[in-house]
Each structure stands twice: as structure tokens, then as C-alpha cells.
Amino acid sequence: MKKILIPLFLILLLISCTSQKNSDAFINAASGRYLFNADEVLEVHFKDKALQVKWRGNENIEPLKVAENSFYMKALNEKMMFVEKPEMHIELAPKTEHEGSIYHFRKMKEGEKTPSEYFMAKEYDKSLAAFLEIKMQDSLSPAINQNKMNRLGYDYIRKNNFDLALEVFKINVALYPTNSNVYDSLGEAYLLQKDTLNAEINFRKALYINPENRSSKRLLTKITK
């Protein structure tokens, strides 16, 4: 128990002795958006020279400054270290749970967006290009999971936002051009917009890949009988 209490006491002492204020130079260098994962941002800003973080809907997370350029963020249960060279980025301090992995979050360029941010800004070409880049780097990334994208499209359909649903399904087709289900979903979105020509084209593509796609069979029969 003493072995545990001593390091904990030292950490608390270090935090209590460390001013939460930051220099103007550090504030200028560290402020900005960092790519937390392929399609998610961790945003760093400052209030009264104290570091704050916006992440996953939490606007004003206040990490504890434990050393110069190093902060403990309870929401992550991680020590974040701001590293300025070769370019400003955030690294997580190594610990056993990382199993040797190195976590490095680069600072995003001015005006740069995530794929989802491009999408919500209706910059669909840029969104698609960004999603395709993710696939090139990591084809198993959760950000481009085919089922997840499909569910998002149907979420828009349930909200009667057929335009956004259509764009999601177009992206899914581009990501998974050999998957029958993505064409079926795209065909359904076209059908909801009363575009029977493109609906038929996509139902036929779905059936070409998988002749047993029951949804495409049913809907194609409905619009061609």
C-alpha cells in the first residue's frame, strides 16, 4: 500500500506545485484542432491561459497541467504531451495498457476538415476523397465500416432527409463497389426521390453481384411490372 501511496502523493504534489497558466508562445503553438482518429477531432483552446479541450460533445474539458507542455486528461485517463518538433502534435505518454503502441495526434491545417465534417458542409467530393484516403491507409478503420455507413444512411431516411441519405449511400458504393447491399440501399434512396431510372440501375447492379438479394428483387419487380 505504501508503494502505491508514495507515487500518488508525488503526482498530486507535482500538480499542486504546477501553475495551470501557460505562456503566450505555448498558447499560440498549441491552440488548434488535432486529428484524434481518422474521423474525429480533439480541439485545444485556452481560457485565462489555462488549457481546455473540446472533445466528443464536451465543450470545456480542463486537463491538469502536470509539467511544462504535459497535461493529464481525466476523460481519456491519459497524460498528453505537446511536442513541437518536427511539427506540433500530441503524444500520449507510454503506459502498460498501450501494449507498445505509440499514439500520435497531428495538428490539423487551417481549414482542414474530417470526412464527416466535409460531408456535413455538403462538400461531398472532398468527403468522398477523405473517406477513400482512410480506406487506402487502413481498410479496416471503423470510420469506413460498411454497415455503420449504411445505418447512417437509413437514419437520414427515417428523418425524411433523403438527399443526405443518397449522398451517404453514394460514398458507401464508392468504398465497397463489389458489395450487393450498398447498391440496394442506393437504389432505395433513389426510389424514395422518385428517380426510378437510377433506382432500377442500382437494383440491377445489386442483383448482378448477388442474384439472391431479396430486397432488390422485390423493389425491381415493383418498379418494372
- Torsion sign, CA atoms 66, 69, 72, 77: negative
CATH superfamily of 145-224: Tetratricopeptide repeat domain (1.25.40.10)
> Using CA atoms, how far apart are residues 19 and 3, in angstroms rounded to an integer?
27
Overall pTM > 0.85 = no
Cell numbers at 167, concatenated: 449522398
Amino acid code (one letter) for 28 = N
One pLDDT digit (tens) per residue for the chain, 225 residues = 445 455 555 555 555 556 678 999 999 999 999 999 999 999 999 999 999 999 998 988 999 999 889 999 999 999 999 999 999 999 999 999 999 899 999 999 999 999 999 999 999 999 999 999 999 999 999 999 999 999 999 999 999 999 999 999 999 999 999 999 999 999 999 999 999 999 999 999 999 999 999 999 999 999 998
Q: Is residue 108 left, alpha or beta, with left meaning phi > 0 and alpha meaning psi from -120 to 50? A: beta
Domain with CATH 1.25.40.10 in the chain: 145-224
Q: Which of the 8 DSSP states describes residue 211?
A: T
Nearby residues of 30 by Cβ (< 8 Å), 6 or more positions away: 22, 44, 46, 51, 69, 82, 88
